Amino acid sequence: MRTDADLKRDVMAELAWDPTLDANAIGVAVKDGVVTLTGHIQTFAEKYAAARAVRRLADVKAIALELDVRLAPNHKRSDTDIATSAEHALKWNTLVPADKIKLTVDQGWVTLRGEVEWDYQRRAAEKAIRPLMGVIGVGNEVTLHVRPQAADLSRKIEDALTRQAIREAKRIQVSVDGSTVKLTGNVHSWQERDAAQGVAWTAPGVRAVVNELNVG
């Protein structure tokens, strides 16, 4: 297990390695494996990228994002302009079902609502909005349509974890209650934790995933 000082060096190096980030604008503090990022950045996409960079590292227990998005003058846009661009981004994205998602914009914060068949469609909608100029945050309130639940759902998810070569598949316990899947156990990294959650979301009939996997 690395020390907090070792982990801080790794976080700073990973932020500097990511070409989408200005690492000099981000402060890093680490205590007991919990990474806190502070500072002011110019886009919401940078905030998301910073969190993603930290999640790639082993031994990170949790992440606290205290990054404020302060748009550069040339990035500021009216809510009307943002809404128009966001609607086009959703319309032109082949992964997002047509006319299934509605959006509202309030001072640069975009909220998505609606109902889709699959989680990947919900995530695709959010991903399409994040990099748009003027956006300071995205709230994803899109829900999933109720689908018939596959028989032996927990076993199918466990098989998928093994099939996709997730290293700690045997240490992950899967339980199903209705349309909710719960993951418990231990994994070595946030990437493995996210990957296991992604596998659970791809199972038919799943409307919620409770991820209680411990990292470390």
Select from 3.30.565.10, 3.30.1340.30, 3.30.420.10, 3.10.20.740 the CATH code of 153-215.
3.30.1340.30
Domain 78-144 in the same topology as domain 4-70? yes
For the stretch 126-149, pLDDT in tens is: 999 999 999 999 999 999 887 656
| Counts of helices then strands in the chain (DSSP H, E) | 6, 9
pTM: 0.75
For the stretch 61-89, pLDDT in tens is: 899 999 999 998 999 999 999 999 999 99
- Please give the class, per CATH, of domain 78-144: alpha beta
pLDDT for position 204: 79
DSSP state of 105: E
Q: Which CATH architecture is the domain 4-70 placed in?
A: 2-Layer Sandwich (3.30)
Mean pLDDT for 31-43 is 94
Helix (H), strand (E) at residue 143:
strand 137-144
Give me the residue spans of the domains in the chain. 4-70, 78-144, 153-215
pLDDT for position 148: 59
Give the number of residues written for the chain.
216
Q: What is the spatial distance between Cα 103 and Cα 87, in angstroms, rounded to a whole number?
A: 8
